[in-house]
Structure 1
Amino acid sequence: MFAVQFDRFGPPEVLHFATADAPRPGPGQIRIRVQAAGVSPVDVGLRSGRTPMSARLPLPHIPGVDAAGVVDEISDDVDGVAIGDHVFGVVDVAKLGGATAQFAVLHLWAHKPTAMPWAQAGAAGSSTETATRALDLLDLQPGMTLLIDGATGGVGSIAVQLATARGIRVIGTARTDNHDFLRTLGATPVTYGPGLADRVNALGTTRVDRALDVAGAGSLPELLQLTGSTATVVTLADFTAPAQGIRLSMGQLAGEPDGRHGLNTAAELFTEGRFTVPIDATFPIQKAADAHETAEHGSRRGKIVLTIDD
């Protein structure tokens, strides 16, 4: 099969086209012919070598943890899906990638709604799983107010919508030029950065019940100030959190119920017109290096996606 891969760590230019052995699904897995694949921060970190997980990668490596496509092979122990079905999900996580290729093996998946564009489906998997896991950890109840710090990126923009669908009032931080974008997702926008607590209070908010840190920009003390307890804050990106008594949620992708139920919920909400995957930019797979460059240095309003023409 054809694949985008790298055989050394470095800038986006290390990515190149090559041939590779097509993967085979293991127990509990399916294989798809890829139509679209997301480019996420974890892909950028692994390729650059800046994350400790890079040490686990055998080289050459095919990046990409999110993919959508047409099912073409199914493990014997899998039911509820058939050859030819259109699905989206997360790749075999033991390999930390593999989506930017002609074929990919999915570890978690859901059926793609008919009307969902391939680009949105290809970018939905890991962000939906991550956002769902964080919201579950926060034990949100209808009527609560949730503050999301870093609400416009790939995970944040999805967390806003999933929380709103649960009957949660969401306040989201963003640059001023992204405030209208946040409103379209259902959040009340507020500018990020020092002084956040004062700006939230200026909105007339009487109570912030929970806070989710997606940005990892050092806001945890102010999030604690707003919610009043370490038990009401979860971060996905601040590795100083455990020292402050705050929960740091890392990617588990462990299957039911912590992963797949979130994908199914997102698919249902899309069909109901209550969920979308914001796309910042789309590139053909031949421009994978450009996509990584944009993901690393471009604006953070939704997801970056690679598409594969039939």
Structure 2
Amino acid sequence: MTLLDPTLSRRAGLAAITKTLTAAGIDPAGSDARFLILGVLGLTPTDLALGGDESLGSEGAARLRSAVARRLAGEPVARILGAWEFWGLPFELSPATLVPRPDTETLVEAALARCPERSRPLRLLDLGTGSGCILIALLAELPNAFGIGLDRSLDALLTARANAVANGVGERAAFLNGDWGAAIQGAFDLVVANPPYIAREVIAGLATEVREHDPVAALDGGEDGLAAYRSILAEVGAGGGIAPGALLFEVGHDQAGAVSALGRAAGFGAAEIVSDLAGHDRVVALTPKPRS
């Protein structure tokens, strides 16, 4: 690794880190280097732009050397920093939570599209809330909504609670420990879920950043990747105690058809499929059939 001397300027340090990551074949090296220098040194983009000639200093250089070594070993930037941005909001992470991904913003957008009157006092349920990013993003956009985030990991729930408070929606959010919908009953305007959907045998072949640093429980979707969808659909809608105005799932890029079929079999009407920015089917939105 290129030596990060304490006398180097922030701008020169950024260039050195970028060069090191590029040489290691890490892509995108430039953005990873920028995130590291901003996060590790506690800088804003404005700080870097206006104060780029300031030296790294002994402590800053040492922290950056450690962070770059971790990145070279395959650890994702978000894990190194312990936080990541989603929907323009900051989220703390823990070993029990996934790193929020841009694809998941498609789920938030699809849910908001079903809320033409955003000032209504809506009831939301987020199954498998993790860091709370989906629920908190929705609450940030729906000022009179109340939401419940459910997860089987207490560590994840503590992280989600802290994130709700930090993002100013703590008074409108509650967090519940349980397995999918088995721990709760009632009617909700929106039920959202980004469940584990990776087929078990595929996990060993995932990128190091995912395989070695994301919680396996948040990845493992069973033998065919659909186990969590089946469990949720057994508890939401006609077959269970949760009555949704709409149920929205994030799905793997090749799972929309299968999840739509599971929804129909569980008593929902025709599914709407929403694509992400890359053109992949990313969200399956299910609506209960109207009562005759």
**Same fold judged by TM-score > 0.5?**
no
Give the TM-score band, short-chain normalised.
Answer: 0.3 to 0.5
Larger % of helix: which? 2
Larger Rg: 2
Larger % of strand: which? 1
Q: Which has the higher contact order (CA 8 A, sep 6+)?
A: 1
TM-score, normalised to structure 1, is 0.38
